[in-house]
Amino acid sequence: MAARMDVLLGAQWGDEGKGKVVDVIAPQYEVIARFQGGPNAGHTLIFEGHKHVLHTIPSGVFREGTINLVGNGVVIDPIIFLKELKALDDAGVDVRPTLLVSRRAHLILPTHRALDAASEAEKGKAKIGSTLKGIGPTYMDKTGRNGLRVGDLERHDLMDRYTVLKRKHERLLAMYGQPGVDAQAEAEWLDAARTLRELQLVDSEHYLDQALRQGKRVLAEGAQGTLLDIDFGTYPFVTSSNTICAGASTGLGVAPNRIGAVTGIFKAYCTRVGSGPFPTELEDDMGEQIRKAGHEFGSTTGRARRCGWLDLPALHYAVMINGITELAMMKADVLNGLDTVRICTGYKVNGTYTERMPYDITTGVEPMYEDMPGWGELHHEAPLPAALERYMARIEQAVGVPITLVSLGPDRAQTVLRKGALVH
């Protein structure tokens, strides 16, 4: 019988811990597919005492036999991609036999990265806080119909296409008063692109159609988070792709009516890296305490993440936009030992109370909090403390979907399945 594709994505501003959940539930799936974003993402997995950070490669690579597919919606920087492969090789993981790359995925050129930096510099104080991996300019070329795709690596006129695009970028860089990219960086990129061509390039929409018809279990893995979505995030402080569930359809070529369960990942609190509005941000000692306890520093850029209390209107919005059927709550242990845990249940927007995410949260939005008793130390073997159960019950009541997985630490083993619902 034909199977459905499940989707797992971030319900906040990214960095929710998606990589860990994918890794934990990967054994239930035969295919794990990334559908958007690129090396701006950093999915951290920790097991047996080793830390692994993945940027473009799906998080199923550490489970033997799982096929890992990089979908058409992803943008690939060949240099970073190969570094990732090398790091996996060094860790004794040969992913080549199980790694598939869509021919329709777009390529990030060195000049895309230069344009990203130039555009951010030009914005000055209004900068997005981009990871500077060339994501925005690459998606701009995709929608502008100028992009270079993985499939172009197989064409005899690859160099002509590359040169046309590079020249266009050089003209734009000159407009910003910036130089082009030096010959060495270009040679390194071309070398990496040739190696990328040697991987298994596929027409991934057909591959997935076939896999689903054969009843294979497929999981679509999102990057970044709902509030960074190009349409529904806190624009313009967003990334340049659709991070939401609908992005899994366009980013993989799987029709919406073939989507099954949608799992939203969120942290027991909120973080945001880069610029942009963040109503529950804590700019005091409590924020610092959460940052330290949660090691809230970017896995891609090393930047300190801004921290704040859990925002229920925002989480509810994510549940609505994505059709989330179940939630996974990460990093509950980071709030261990607090006497009181605050939770934002609504906003006052220009004096009027609402539980709805407004169009603009940049100014005039005051978070309204409910205080809840904290829990002590957590031990995954023991039943979860009553105070933590009450915290989760409050969240479930507000957003209308169950929390089926709780993470109590970075290791695979520090995970509690509630109600067993992630095991479909």
Binding stretches for ligand IMP (CB under 6 A)? 14-15, 40-42, 128-131, 133, 135-136, 223-224, 228, 237, 239, 273-274
Q: Which residue's CB is nearer to ligand IMP, number 274 or number 346?
A: 274
Question: How many other CB atoms sit within 10 Å of the CB of residue 86?
Answer: 10
Q: How many CB atoms neighbour CB 422 within 10 A?
A: 20
CB 249 within 8 A of CB 36: no
CB-nearer residue toward ligand IMP: 228 or 357: 228
- Is position 52 annotated as part of the catalytic site? no
For 10, phi then psi, to 5°, come to -85, 135
Q: What is the smallest separation between the CB atom of 273 and ligand IMP, expressed in angstroms? A: 4
The distance of closest approach from Cβ of residue 129 to ligand IMP in the complex, given in angstroms and rounded to an integer, is 4
CB of 194 to ligand IMP, least distance (A): 26
Residue number, nearest CB to ligand IMP: 274
Buried b (16+ CB within 10 A) or exposed e, 365-391: bebeeeebebbeebeeeeebbeebeeb
Residue 61 near residue 95 (C-beta atoms within 8 A): yes
Pairing of strands 415-417, 306-308: unpaired
Given 6, 23, 43, 169, the catalytic residue: 43
Is 231 among the catalytic positions?
Answer: no
The distance in angstroms from the start CA to the end CA of the chain is 16
Q: Which residue lies nearer to ligand IMP by CB, 42 or 73?
A: 42
Q: 158-175 vs 110-123: helix axis angle to the nearest 10? A: 20
Are 296 and 304 in contact by the 8 Å Cβ rule? The answer is: yes
Q: Rounded to the nearest whole angstrom, what is the least distance from the CB of residue 312 to ligand IMP in the complex? A: 20
Tell me how far, at minimum, the Cβ of 94 lies from ligand IMP, in Å: 26
Give me the catalytic one of 6, 15, 116, 152: 15
Q: Are 94 and 229 in contact (CB under 8 A)?
A: no
CA distance 417 to 54: 24
Active site residues: 15, 43
